[in-house]
Structure 1
Amino acid sequence: MRTLIVIPARLGSWRFPDKPLTMIEGLSMIEHVYRRSLLAKGINRVVLAVCEEKVLKAAEAFGAEVVMTSAECHSAIDRVADAAARLGYVSHEDILINVQGDEPVIPPPAIEMTIETLLDDKICECSNLIEEIKDPADLTNHHRIKAIISNNKRLIYLTRQEIPSSAFDIKKRAIFYRQTCVMAFRGDFLQKVSDIPQSKLELIEGIDMLRLIENDIPIASGVIAFSTQPVDTPEDIPKVIEILKNDQWFKHGYK
């Protein structure tokens, strides 16, 4: 079994242009993600998947392995699949991990748990974990992708809206979750997913994992105890800086 982390990064985010190269406490955002990914146990290789020369040069400057992918990739899943194909990670025994390039404080154990969830499942060929929403503001934040899972730990749906609805939750029993932006795939399966046309719900919600759900493809899931802080807009940067003040991996220089 070979494990490859692919970190897709591009400059064209309408919410936050040039986001991957934003400096945070002396390092670019993608360098934080890259160095934290290297700390995950059981990983053979970590690469950045880019389609712009500017990002390529920035990544090479801090010593990252970089793969240039097609500018025609529609989503992060497609960019990861493109990079995996170029590197020859396309067999069933290959495990591809998509760590989004805007997760500068992703806990390495969250990556490990995503892989373990996939390997422990005898049916699913991909996994995507969720975490409890602790900040009520996240419920109405359309940048945060809300999630629900079934009793047998399968993702049921992902949306930018509040889910489940609390309109009739008189006893306040609802627990809300959001997607963790780390996904693991079997190598051959990822190529098949990339060949599937973008689905209607995927395009409406802007969530690529809905391509699988809409095509009745099961996704193994589970709840992690860690908290992540994705960067969707410039307003998220101060939150990341605050987390880094007490972050054990950053404090030790990512070693």
Structure 2
Amino acid sequence: MSYKIVIPARYGSSRLPGKPLALISGRPMVWHVWQRALETGIPATDIWVATDDQRIYDAVAAFGANVLMTSVNHNCGTDRLAEVVALRGWDQNDIVVNVQGDEPLLPAHLIRLAAATLAADDESGIATLGCPIVDFAQIMATQCVKVVTNKAGQALYFSRAPIPWDRDSFTSANLNNVNRVAATLAPHWLRHIGLYAYRVKTLASLSHLAVSPLEQLESLEQLRALWHGIKIAVARVEQAPPHGVDTPEDLARIQHHFESEVVAPQ
């Protein structure tokens, strides 16, 4: 299957400025993400890093990856992808997977799955992933985004709220035994995994669509697509990938992981 990968790598970050250049085992983080993209098996010529900073551009060019300088004015990674698509002149029916530049542990098989899910669903313009939630604390946590799908596996809604709400199970008595409730509801609860595949024509239209009220309320960009009638296919996986890097603490955890891998006995 043919598809493209774009790795947005923005320098500015309120919690960890310059994180694509943060060193992990002596290499910048964005190099590790590029390695995960190469592990998918698609040609290196179909993998592009998109940045807004000369320092990142120079670092990426130095290790031999394709890199494009994009605008500093993009509000989200989707808009940056749309600019890359326009600059490269890719076909309207091509599939592009957005691999965030702060995901050095993202398994390659999930990237392939996102692309394959979209390729198999002609009705959808976007594909993403979800995994079962078996921890009741996650069901209630606002930072854990939930997704509900229809019979065809297409998203009905994404929310920070605990959806679906089981009227009979979520009673005061039952909630005292939260582990039993979570185990009972596991087949119905999906945590959204923020990995996206897009058709080029969908990316082009998304960048011109108005922000939706639901997107503003929930602070979830994917709700813009649903609001405007774009279908999102959701592939179910059994386990979420390792968390990416948002904070200095996340970076220290990832650095320790890679150092442990290096020194681990063969």
Q: TM-score range by the shorter chain?
A: 0.7 to 0.9
Distance 2:254 2:4 in 1: 26
Residues 47-71 of structure 1 deviation map (CA, whole Å, 9 limit, x = unaligned): 1111111221222222221111122
Q: What is the deviation of 1:199? A: 2.2
1:21 paired residue number: 21
1:237 paired residue number: 251
Q: What is the deviation of 1:217? A: 1.6
Structure 1 residue runs without a partner (length 5+): none
More helix by share: 2
Q: Flag the structure with larger Rg.
A: 2
Question: Does residue 174 of structure 1 match 2:185?
Answer: yes
Structure 2 residue runs without a partner (length 5+): 175-179
Q: Percent same amino acid among aligned pairs?
A: 32
1:202 paired residue number: 215
Distance 1:234 1:3 in 2: 33
Residues 132-187 of structure 1 deviation map (CA, whole Å, 9 limit, x = unaligned): 34666655665543333233211222234444457843351223433223211111
Q: Give the residue type in structure 2 aligned to 1:74.
A: N
Q: What is the deviation of 1:30? A: 1.4
Question: Does residue 108 of structure 1 match 2:108?
Answer: yes
2:177 paired residue number: none
Q: What is the deviation of 1:125? A: 2.0
Distance 2:114 2:102 in 1: 17
| RMSD of equivalent CA atoms | 2.8
Residues 236, 131 of structure 1: alpha-carbon distance in 2 compared, 3 angstrom cutoff: farther
Given that 1:90 and 1:191 are in contact with CA atoms closer than 8 Å, whether structure 2 keeps it comes out as no
Q: What is the deviation of 1:3? A: 1.8
TM-score (norm. length: structure 1): 0.84
Distance 1:133 1:31 in 2: 31
TM-score (norm. length: structure 2): 0.81
**3-state SS of paired residue (1:16):** coil
Distance 1:226 1:41 in 2: 22
Residues 246, 151 of structure 1: alpha-carbon distance in 2 compared, 3 angstrom cutoff: farther
